Amino acid sequence: MECLRCGNKDLAYFYKGAKGYYCRKCIKFSRVLLEEEPESFNYEVGTGVDEYRFDYELTPEQKETSHNCLKTLTHSDVLLYCVCGAGKTEISVESISYYLSKGLKVAYAIARKEVVIELGKRFKQIFAKAKVISVYGGHHEELSGDLIVCTCHQLYRYYRTFDLLILDEVDAFPLKGNQTLMNIAINSCKGRIIFSTATVDDELKKILIQRNVRTVELYTRPSRHPLSIPRLIYLNRYLALIYLYRVMSLMANQCIIFVSNKKECRNLYRLFSNFFSCTYVYADLKERNENINAFKENRKRFIFSTTVLERGITIRNISVIILNFSRTFDESNFVQMLGRVGRGIGNDEGETYLISDHYSKQISRTMDYLKKANSYL
């Protein structure tokens, strides 16, 4: 017994209903009967929609990588292994255009809803003639177009439909550690997959070996800034607060301070709001957007944040401090947080600190990764 959509083989998850056995592991995405094969979604891709145009010039490295990516796609899947801020979206555009010109179905799947809305607008500018559809929770009346941009959770609607699927940020929240969702995403595609990520963990490695995936690497960012190597400081949790106060008072530019949980985030905000102009944010905070906007518009100098700000935010001249007092952060978290620094083109500088009360393997792996990436400059 195996569920065709989510790949579940555990017998405890099958239940016999009125229409036969079905899988309860992926029941939240509607019922899949064991005997019936789920229906694939059919739609037509229009002709002449493959034209694309950028408002800015790509760097030579980016052009070379996108050629490599398209070349590798002819015989196997691709892992786009790029440092954060390298422009993974722009690199995949050439492959998308090639597939669209042949009339094949392409989808771009990404984790969060806000990013889907933003990316949908960006793809509309890049592919001016194509009909770009963005699908996310609460917005799924129209499911067929030329190019589909959707959240990972919406991929269950398209069983074995796409010829090219781009899975962005595989190392991030919904796909990481969620085998069911990963299998649904993989089963929504009958052709090739592009996994795009900055770090590879053990679970992903298994899938990559299983699918025989080739790697395409890019270690330089279009801004040509090296990745910032943090100043490592080992201090007791309470002494670290004094050190943090000193660093903050000497800091010249804006700064994001990453902490591991929301309780700590709130407490540190209460303490430091007596001394500095600062604000705070975590995922289920009511004033989340207002606080982020206040920081973006430079009304507040410091922001205390959990991992919500680790992806998809670009601010010039920013510094990053990471407070690592519990064992929740891993390599991909560290790399993404430190990657907030130096993203803009031109003069863009910032400092990074990593304050920790213990030594861990994750930290040493992060330092190795940063050094390796910087050696390609």
Which residues contact another protein (rule: CB under 8 A)? 12, 15, 17-19, 22, 24, 27-31
Tokens 């660093």 locate to 247
CA dist., res. 360 & res. 164, Å (int): 38
Contact 45, 97 (CB under 8 A): no
Could you tell me which residues come within 8 angstroms of residue 46 by beta carbon, excluding any fewer than 6 positions away? 130, 131, 146
Chain mean position to CA 63: 22
CA dist., res. 278 & res. 274, Å (int): 9
Please, what is the minimum distance in Å from the beta carbon of residue 12 to another protein?
7
CA dist., res. 70 & res. 80, Å (int): 11
CA dist., res. 10 & res. 284, Å (int): 34
Pick between residue 158 and residue 302 the one whose CB is nearest to another protein.
Answer: 158
Please, what is the minimum distance in Å from the beta carbon of residue 183 to another protein?
16
Pick between residue 26 and residue 185 the one whose CB is nearest to another protein.
Answer: 26
In this structure, what token pair is assigned to residue 337? 């947080």
Pick between residue 6 and residue 213 the one whose CB is nearest to another protein.
Answer: 6
Pick between residue 11 and residue 209 the one whose CB is nearest to another protein.
Answer: 11
Pick between residue 32 and residue 135 the one whose CB is nearest to another protein.
Answer: 32
Please, what is the minimum distance in Å from the beta carbon of residue 298 to another protein?
40
What is the strand order of the sheet 78-82 is part of? 132-135, 147-151, 106-110, 162-168, 189-197, 78-82, 214-218
Please, what is the minimum distance in Å from the beta carbon of residue 92 to another protein?
33
Please, what is the minimum distance in Å from the beta carbon of residue 137 to another protein?
14
Please, what is the minimum distance in Å from the beta carbon of residue 14 to another protein?
10
Please, what is the minimum distance in Å from the beta carbon of residue 186 to another protein?
21
Please, what is the minimum distance in Å from the beta carbon of residue 5 to another protein?
13
Q: Give whole-number Cα distances, 290 to 54, 174, 195, 287, 293, in Å.
A: 32, 25, 33, 5, 5
Angle at 320 between CA 318 and CA 324, to 5 degrees: 170
DSSP string computed for 165-211: EEEE-TTSTTTTT-HHHHHHHHHTEEEEEEEEES---HHHHHHHHHH
CA dist., res. 283 & res. 297, Å (int): 20
Pick between residue 32 and residue 45 the one whose CB is nearest to another protein.
Answer: 32
Pick between residue 19 and residue 190 the one whose CB is nearest to another protein.
Answer: 19
In this structure, what token pair is assigned to residue 200? 């590879």
Pick between residue 29 and residue 243 the one whose CB is nearest to another protein.
Answer: 29
